Structure 1
């Protein structure tokens, strides 16, 4: 399909979306259109049209990404038209504190109003930028005492680093705390905690009140939302989340609870919690600002994956996965391979190493941190450890038995494009942000248990990252992941507000 026909189709899609007052499908269509246009020779008129499109759906960042990463196709000089000026005006309306928000982030920001109780629950896709908007809320509202609660130490560390680097000018007058034992409270404070550290801190500072509390991955209050129904009872993590949430509701008027793809219902125990604590739900689950193309690999020998022709010679799942991964992956479009077992992640790494050797694709990186990291692992562990061997081929292995500091550095190297492949279990969905273009799904299970729809959406959501890709590729090989992905979701529950729930 040529440029002209694609442009006609996108215009038709836009008017249909306006007529139905639903832009969610239109956003996906615009993503696909940008993904096609990034490889085309662009005229000044093309850019005007693309700018109009991105502004009409409220996401001007698409044109910024096109200019930044695909400048070879971008015209060296542009004519300034009335359309161009109108686009700049729209961008200015979405710019806050030097940062350009997309329309849906700005909608969330605008809901916070000085002088009223601001309590919201935001459910949106993984690529939405939920934590990014939190920093804009803090700046707008000028809160003095802020608590940010994240589920894992890795996310806590990531956001601590952001405050020290990316946002240092805006937050340099805050004292930042990450340990519950830190008793030096300043005039303006940001506490970055896990739920357990937050509870430990409140035990020691019972009278401390906060201006704003943000809790990420709020779905973790419900153990059964993410674990199959055969697993009964509670564990320490969901209890800690619920108790931390209860304390936060008592200690702060303003709150934002966030999570991806949550189905909250309107007549269940979580709905009772919402009503009792005066929360307003913001549901942006359908606003997928990085499109996903899904390819289900069955028995055919040839596939067209997002315009790339791939021939499969062997029937073995391992062979298919590795052939597709090697064919699709490059430094700007790296790949996650999801497997349900630790042993599987290591076998896939060995298979990809074998493929790369056969094709004589040798991996080299001059990145000094990468070289120091590999040398450290060789000296501390062994050059024969599969983690080390894989790293030498641009492959990261990520599962629960890999030490946390190694996991963190592997993710950093992958997100910077130094590593081309990341082979992982569901640890990739648990408090980790990644920048993969492709995700290859090799199993519809989590260990021995069938994935739930929520887990499946979270895994698929790792394909494509906002401000790095217009579209992500989800490739499913030899399992029923797609059926789980499109099946009915469970509703999020809150045991404390369910009179029938067994409590221990």
Structure 2
């Protein structure tokens, strides 16, 4: 059934159907809820080939109205009837007079404005975030929380909300910020929701990509657990919620949480997709590469290519660099800056010089954002992405190539495949998108069409670190009894389980055994120093390899006899600054490697250590080590020794040798290399809003900044 609309479209182009017959079929489909999606797609395709329908303009306009695509009436027809004009005005946004809602947007907004809780499951192109802006603009809500899955999406959402609403609302997106105004919009990841203790009396919360409440097909469920804990917290302090995500058929478990809601599983499509299947074997990269080459030669327009990971993207970039000429209009100063700071042989630099962008989670944030800007501005035509494309990065692409049917080593299901394909086309920009599936399309399955919410589906297998973080009112009867028994027998206090919920119970107990086996003299030595000596470093590295084995394993530095992690941590602690450490690592790469690809791969590993290990794994592990040492050795109230405090080390790694408020600026897209020039003692205890105001007033007076650096700052603060 999925190809019904496309077959009729082909018959129209081959003249087996007349335009009138084509529209008649579309009308019949639109009158049947089972085929409504196909009817709407046929109307969209008719708009893309409007020249075929000149004698049938009136009928086509009526079908645009019937399909609910009200914005397209104004956009694609010079002359509309009074009836259609009235329909357009009835669906015009009250806060943005240039914007007209389509039928599903209007339906969803009306439900929310009536005070209903809504879970909207719809295609990527539907325009779900517009409803968020409309709700904020209504001034009905004083405190709004928007939960997004990544820091990249925090910044993207922050820019949009700040531009429209900063005059009425304080925008809080970083842990260093405190509430200073009555009306606030919080834009946070689930971890940041759980860390804040000032979230109270929330009028509305939104969870973007709500399907991430379910456990994903990975070895690490910590983020899904954190999101369920955040959901539990928000449900108890909020009056209303709106959850949005890709199209599914059902949500299981949410109804068990004592909140009424309307679930809208909509297939409302605003663009049509041409699906091209190639059925190439997953490891047949020569054939895949040749197909990509032919696609880029045959199809114009912006092209996103989804790859399973950074290594796959690097190999494809090398192939494209050597086998196809692509238009490129990359600013020379940016290319030179990348080469100077990360090396000219890094695949990102070499690909960009040839007109190919690369986007993945390990890249420095300033480079991630600049890459998206270059792609959306058509400075580069091809963008190679990893799972970042699935997580809502805002790009405009007419063409999407699904190069791999995997995410890292795990296969993707039909749901994820559809989510990637949905990045093709964009309402009001591309009526028709092209999707090229190089491998066999995953089969439909019931599981991938439903989202299970663990918070509402508690049972014998529910992780104890999830139960430790949720609100009492969300415990099921079975969980209450089981958790009570567990806590009575557990060797650690509940607070340690709560504050370290990223770790499984088994991992916590293994870590406890490690700490209990340490010599008391080693503990005293470890906690008595501001930084670390050799013996203390040995303890930290061993502990890190024990509790953070999964991310270390991905970099192949988890083994006991591997000294890379020890050397990197020591070098970072005693480095003058983050850029100095990075420069020394890049210098070492170029002095010890002569092969271009090896230099590039080692550069990527160094960046991955900085992002995934230093900024996340190390502070998380140090927090656990601190808690365990204080529990095992200093919980006795008669002990006068202060105990362990690794705050300095955690701050050093988490904030890249900078004041904590500067991490907010880095997340906004200002490179750490640029921030080093700003770093001064007067900024140590200054709120982010004050720094931003200072930068807006004095940016063009700074003599030490290049024009490129000023452009990074300007993009971040405006």
Aligned ranges for residues 69-108 of structure 1 at < 5 Å? 80=79, 84-97=81-94, 98=97, 99-108=99-108
Cα distance in structure 1, aligned partners of 2:100 and 2:237 = 32
Change (3 A) 1:138 1:452: same
CA contact (8 A) 2:207 2:243 kept: yes
8 Å contact 1:434–1:465 — kept in the other structure?
no
Residue 19 of structure 1 and its aligned partner are, at CA, apart by 4.4
Q: Which moved more, 1:46-55 or 1:489-498?
A: 46-55
* Structure with larger RCO (C-alpha < 8 A, sep 6+): 1
Taking the aligned partners of 1:91 and 1:495, their CA distance within structure 2 comes to: 42
Return 5+ residue gaps in structure 2 as ranges: 1-11, 465-718
* Partner SS for 1:95: coil
Helix, strand or coil at the partner of 1:336: strand
Q: Does 1:489 align with 2:447?
A: yes
How many residues in Structure 1 have an aligned counterpart in Structure 2?
Answer: 442
1:289 corresponds to which residue? 270
Alpha-carbon separation, structure 1, partners of 2:60 and 2:334: 42
2:305 counterpart of 1:337? yes
Deviation (angstroms), 1:393:
2.5
Using the alignment, how far apart are the partners of 1:63 and 1:352 within structure 2? 41
Decide whether aligned partners of structure 1 residues 222 and 93 sit closer, same or farther in structure 2, where only a CA change above 3 A counts.
same
Which digits, 9 at most, give the CA deviation of each residue in 1:253-290, with x for residues without a partner? Answer: 1111111123425xx434424xx222221221x22222
In the superposition, relative to structure 1, how do residues 371 and 36 fare at CA in structure 2: closer, same or farther (>3 Å)? farther
Which residue pairs with 2:181 in the alignment?
Answer: 186
Residue number in structure 1 paired with 2:292: 321
Q: Which runs of 5+ in 1 are unaligned?
A: 68-77, 300-313
- TM-score computed with the length of structure 1 as normaliser: 0.81
Contact 1:154–1:432 at 8 Å: present in 2 too?
A: yes
What's the counterpart of residue 207 of structure 2?
215
**Alpha-carbon separation, structure 2, partners of 1:447 and 1:192:** 28
Deviates more, 1:243-252 or 1:421-430: 421-430
Contact kept, 8 Å, 2:19 with 2:53, in 1: the verdict is no
Q: Among 401, 405, 418, which residue is 1:457 paired with?
A: 418
Contact 2:53 2:60 in 1 (8 A): no
Indicate whether 1:33 and 2:46 are aligned. yes
CA distance 1:66–1:394, change in 2 (3 Å): farther
Matches for 1:249-288 after TM superposition, within 5 Å: 249-265=235-251, 268-273=252-257, 276-284=258-266, 286-288=267-269
User: Residue 123 of structure 2 corresponds to which residue in structure 1?
Assistant: 125
Deviations 1:222-250 (A, max 9, x none): 12xx316xx4xx63311211111111111
Give 1:152 shift: 1.0
Q: Which residue of 1 aligns with 2:168?
A: 173
| 1:227 counterpart (207, 211, 217) | 217
Rg larger for: 2
- 1:448-478: CA deviations, max 9, x gaps? 221122211111111112221112111122x
**1:371 Cα deviation from its structure 2 partner:** 4.2
1:87 deviates by 2.0
Q: CA deviation at 1:376?
A: 2.1
| Alpha-carbon distance, 1:49 to partner | 4.7
Q: Of 203, 216, 241, which aligns to 2:227?
A: 241
Per-residue CA deviation, residues 58-110 of structure 1 (Å, 9 max, x unaligned), is 1133355557xxxxxxxxxx5x5xx5322222111110221211110000011
2:249, 2:265 within 8 Å by CA — same for their partners in 1? no
- Which residue number in structure 2 is paired with residue 71 of structure 1? none
Q: Which residue of 2 aligns with 1:70?
A: none
**Cross-structure match for 2:22:** 9
TM-score of the superposed pair, with normalisation by structure 2: 0.58
Does the alignment pair 1:58 with 2:68? yes
Q: Where do residues 298-447 of structure 1 align in structure 2 (5 Å cutoff)?
A: 298=279, 316-329=287-300, 333-357=301-325, 363-365=327-329, 370-447=331-408
Residue aligning to 2:485: none
Give me the whole-angstrom Cα distance separating, in 2, the residues matched to 1:30 and 1:415.
27
Aligned to 2:495: none
Kept in 2, the 8 Å contact 1:125–1:260? The answer is yes
Contact 1:291 1:471 in 2 (8 A): yes
Structure 1 residues 218, 19: CA separation in 2 closer, same or farther (over 3 Å shift)? closer
Q: CA deviation at 1:214?
A: 1.1
